[in-house]
């Protein structure tokens, strides 16, 4: 699970748990929050849930590496 709260902290937890690398600037996540992720989900579904309502979209740049835009 990833608790609701600061988006930057949520993305760090997501990367630790999924083994994926998420690239973003501090300006992109500053002041944004996440509803968090609960339960067992695929890595793709968890990332979508984590970013829901933020206006950010993950773009896969290579296997296991995503850039937020």
Residue 26: the pLDDT is 96
Query: pLDDT tens digit string along 12-69?
Result: 999 999 999 999 999 999 999 999 999 999 999 999 999 999 999 999 999 999 999 9
Long-range contact set of residues 56-59: C-beta below 8 Å, sequence gap at least 24: 56/24, 56/28, 56/29, 56/32, 58/22
Residue 24: the pLDDT is 97
Residue 18: the pLDDT is 96
**pTM for the structure as a whole:** 0.94
CA 11, 34, 4: angle at the middle one, nearest 5? 95
Query: pLDDT tens digit string along 9-26?
Result: 999 999 999 999 999 999
């Amino acid at each position: 699970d990833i608790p609701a709260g600061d988006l930057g902290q949520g993305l760090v937890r997501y990367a630790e748990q999924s083994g994926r690398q998420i690239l973003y600037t501090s300006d992109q996540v500053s002041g944004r929050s996440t509803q968090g992720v609960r339960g067992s989900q695929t890595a793709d579904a968890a990332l979508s849930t984590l970013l829901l309502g933020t206006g950010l979209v993950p773009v896969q740049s290579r296997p296991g590496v995503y850039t937020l835009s």
